[in-house]
Amino acid sequence: MLRTLRSGLPADCDALYQLEERCFDDDRFSRRQIAHLLTRANAVNLLAVSDEQRVVGYGTLLFRRNSVTARLYSFCVDPAARGSGLGRELLQALEDAARERGSQRLLLEVRADNRVAMGLYRRMGFIARRWLDDYYADGCAAWQMDKRLEVSETLDASSIE
Ligand SMILES: CC(C)(COP(=O)(O)OP(=O)(O)OC[C@H]1O[C@@H](n2cnc3c(N)ncnc32)[C@H](O)[C@@H]1OP(=O)(O)O)[C@@H](O)C(=O)NCCC(=O)NCCS
C-alpha cells in the first residue's frame, strides 16, 4: 500500500477520532481533544494517508516553551496497516520533526503490557527510565521512555582550531 506522510489539518478531526477507536480499547481522545491538538501551535501532528486518502496512522508531538524535550503524546497505526513498517517510518518522521524544532530529547509513556510498541521504541533507541504505577484508566502501569536526539551537523572547518 502506498502512503504519504503529511501534517494534520482541522478537517482531519473525524478521521483521527475513528482511527483512535480502531486502535485503542480505552484512554482514547475525545473529538474535542483531537480538535484542540490539531489547532495547537505547540503540537506537531503527522498523518499517514493511504493512496485512497484514508488516514492509516498518526502521531502527535507536544513541545513546551523553553524546553528541549518534546513529548510523543499519541502514536498509532490502523490495525489493517500494521506490520508493514509504517509505525517505524512514522516514528522516524516524528523524531526528525522534533529535531527540526530544536528538541534534544524525545519522551513518551507506553503501557507496560504493550510489548509491540515497547519493542519498537527500544529498537529505535529509546530507553525505559521510569516505572509509573497505575498510569492508565484501567490501572495498568506505564514505562516512561526517552531518547536523546543527536543533532546531525556537518563540521564547519572554520570552527576547528
Ligand atoms: C505500535 C504500532 C504503532 C506499530 O505499528 P506497525 O505499523 O505495526 O509497526 P511496524 O510495522 O513498523 O513494526 C515495528 C516493529 O514491531 C514489530 N512488530 C509489529 N507487529 C508485531 C507483532 N504483532 N508482534 C511482534 N512484533 C511486531 C515489527 O517486526 C517491527 O520490528 P522492527 O522494529 O525490528 O522493524 C501499532 O502496533 C499500534 O498502533 N498499536 C496500537 C497503538 C499503540 O500501542 N500505540 C503506541 C502507544 S505508546
Amino acid 161: pLDDT: 40
pLDDT band at 160 (very low <50, low <70, confident <90, very high): very low
Instruction: Extract the C-alpha cell encoding 6.
Output: 503529511
9 is in which domain, residue-wise? 3-107
Domain total in the chain: 1
Q: How many CA atoms lie within 13 A of 77 on its CB side?
A: 18
Q: Report d(CA 32, CA 85) in Å as an integer.
A: 30
CATH number at residue 73: 3.40.630.30
CA 110, 142, 124 angle in degrees (round to 5)? 35
Task: Give the model confidence (pLDDT) of 111-129 as tens digits.
Answer: 999 999 999 999 999 999 9
39 located within any domain: yes
Grid cell, residue 31, equals: 473529538
- Ligand 1 centroid to 84 CA: how many Å? 9
Whether ligand 1 lies within 6 angstroms of the CB of 80 is answered as no
Quick check: CB of 86 below 6 Å from ligand 1?
yes
